[in-house]
């Protein structure tokens, strides 16, 4: 399932291509046709993400609420000069197309279109429904209005495993399996450790790390979590080859040697999802994480594992 950085990048791309412009809104597949008709020709105000949710705002305080689920895609295409919008391919639930090209109200941007396929949710909602959705979510490390203390209050009072809590969107919004595995490794915390055994400093370090790592994911379009000394170039190793891309410490590296200590990376199932950890770097139910003054991408938060 796409993690929060993917939704934030999508919101940014939609805003860059469509914000302030009138758009044709259609549903070639038909499932969103009635709602599309209500907003067809409206001006698109902007787009925002909250965790794994996306809201595309149209004039009149109307929002297209999207959740991609496991296989959904929302592809944004910018057209070359003279290029026509192609016919829809596949089950396109929602299509956005700019009404006019360069010159519309002095707008120099080229025409663009975006196609939504495979989403588990695509609804037209008002501001009250949007607020209800946002109220159900925990803080999102990518949002300026996020309150990490809200997540800490829930974590510090819960006996549930921290690996479970980090994936609970009511506790923390936008973190998926990759960021969960990697931030726990970077802070030497075992995924099965009860949330109420963590110290506030450990949580603050993890939050700061997530803010930086996920922002980097927005910039690069992939998840990279290894520190400079553990990159393929620094270690003289082959780059990771995986459909998910990015250089990571433990995610989907079961039975492979840890990049830090060479112990064998392990996995188990936690609440229906695989969790990954290094038994040496992440001893069970205790942590050696400390606050670090280090700055720069990939170095925020706890001690180097």
Catalytic-role residue among 222, 252, 266, 273: 273
Annotated catalytic, 273?
Answer: yes
Start-to-end Cα distance in the chain? 27
As a whole number of angstroms, the distance between CA 97 and CA 85 comes to: 8
3-state secondary structure of 82: coil
Annotated catalytic, 102?
Answer: no
Annotated catalytic, 253?
Answer: no
CA distances from 238 to 36, 136, 231, 273, 277 (A): 48, 42, 9, 28, 21
As a whole number of angstroms, the distance between CA 270 and CA 173 comes to: 18
Under 8 Å CB-to-CB from 290, ≥6 apart: which residues? 201, 205, 302, 303
As a whole number of angstroms, the distance between CA 305 and CA 293 comes to: 15
- Kind and range of the H or E run holding 266: strand 266-270
Identify which of 126, 124, 149, 130 has the alpha carbon closest to the alpha carbon of residue 139.
Answer: 149
Catalytic-role residue among 21, 52, 62, 111: 52
Annotated catalytic, 86?
Answer: no
Positions marked catalytic:
2-3, 52, 273
């Amino acid at each position: 399932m796409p993690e929060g950085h993917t939704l934030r990048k999508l919101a940014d791309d939609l805003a860059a291509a469509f914000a302030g412009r009138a758009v044709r809104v259609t549903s070639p597949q038909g499932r969103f046709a009635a709602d599309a008709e209500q907003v067809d020709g409206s001006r698109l105000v902007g787009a925002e993400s909250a965790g794994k949710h996306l809201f595309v705002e149209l004039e009149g305080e109307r929002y297209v609420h999207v959740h991609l689920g496991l296989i959904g895609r929302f592809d944004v295409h910018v057209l070359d000069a003279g290029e026509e919008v192609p016919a829809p391919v596949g089950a396109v639930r929602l299509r956005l197309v700019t009404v006019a090209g360069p010159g519309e109200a002095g707008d120099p941007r080229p025409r663009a279109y975006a196609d939504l396929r495979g989403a588990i949710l695509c609804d037209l909602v008002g501001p009250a429904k949007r607020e209800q959705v946002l109220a159900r979510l925990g803080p999102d490390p990518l949002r300026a209005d996020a309150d990490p203390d809200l997540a800490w209050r829930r974590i510090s009072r819960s006996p549930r495993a921290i690996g479970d809590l980090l994936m609970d969107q009511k506790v923390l919004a936008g973190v998926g399996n990759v960021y969960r595995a990697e931030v726990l490794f970077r802070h030497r915390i075992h995924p099965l450790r009860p949330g109420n055994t963590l110290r506030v400093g450990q949580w603050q370090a993890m939050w700061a790390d997530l803010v930086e790592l996920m922002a980097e994911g927005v910039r690069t379009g992939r998840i990279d979590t290894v520190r400079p000394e553990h990159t393929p170039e620094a270690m003289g190793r082959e780059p990771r080859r995986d459909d998910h891309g990015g250089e990571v410490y433990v995610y989907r590296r079961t039975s492979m040697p840890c990049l830090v200590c060479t112990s064998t990376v392990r996995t188990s199932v936690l609440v229906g999802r695989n969790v990954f950890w290094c038994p040496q770097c992440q001893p069970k139910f205790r942590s050696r994480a400390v606050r670090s003054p280090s700055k720069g991408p990939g170095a925020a938060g706890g001690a180097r594992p």
